[in-house]
Amino acid sequence: MDNLRAVARATNLMNVARTTYSGGSADVVLSMDVRRRDESDFATVGGPIMDLGEYCNRRFREGEEFVTVSAGTRPQLRPGDCVRFRIENRSSRAQDVTVLFMDSRWGIQSYFPMMSGDQNRIEAGGERYIAENSAGFLVTPTTTGVERMLMIAVPGSGGLLADFSYLAQPQLTATRSLGEGSELHDLLDQAGFRGESTRGLAQGTQESTTTQVLSWVTESD
């Protein structure tokens, strides 16, 4: 039953995002940058020639540039690629932003803010990069298949931050994975987050909520 609930929560959270999606008029935009691995380093059996973490850092030190993924595309990522994400606040007011990683095993993890209570307000015209370090996030084969980043942004005001990192949930283990109102509060209730959707969010904010989903396919190699 817990497994079914986890799947339902992740799936219905995506439905909430689609319901509140702002399209091209978004006040806040999430984009993805990729630095591809050098295929020649992986040509031999057992490559790369060093562990993947050091490989990603080495390519950063050598000056390999990130390339922004075109909007609306679903790139394929392979172990050894590195990625980072950029949040741009294009609006004229501060925005409280949460970015959630949704893996192929129905896990949900907050990438921004990294820890509940961390500062997640981005001022008007500001931007923020999300990355493990300057080299970015390393792509590994820990989970494979379609994976996503979901962004939720609401106008920020006063001292209380709107933080949706509480929506996180652990992934299902591989052996147990299953193949198959008008206000944002009500939508989250219907999505299986009843009793949790009131944290840090003022009533009547659905109309000013910005959501966006980026997706990609992680290959085993």
Per domain, the residue ranges of the chain are 2-218
DSSP annotation string for 55-98: HHHHHHHTTPPPEEPPTT---EE-BTBEEEEEEEE-SSS-EEEE
Residue linked to tokens 């500062």: 119
Q: Which two tokens stand for residue 146?
A: 């379609």
Residue linked to tokens 């949460």: 98
In contact, 69 and 78? CB cutoff 8 Å: no
Stretch among 25-29, 107-111, 194-198 having the lowest mean pLDDT:
194-198
155: exposed, middle or buried (Cβ count in 10 Å: 0-12, 13-18, 19+): middle
- At residue 176, does pLDDT exceed 70? no
Q: What is the CB-side half-sphere exposure of residue 95 using CA atoms within 13 A? A: 28
Task: Give residue 58's pLDDT band: very low, low, confident or very high (50, 70, 90).
Answer: confident
* Average confidence score pLDDT of the chain: 80
Q: How far is CA 6 from the centre of its chain?
A: 17
Q: What is the pLDDT of residues 10-37, one digit of tens each?
A: 888 887 777 666 555 678 999 999 999 8
Residues 39-53, mean pLDDT to the nearest whole number: 64
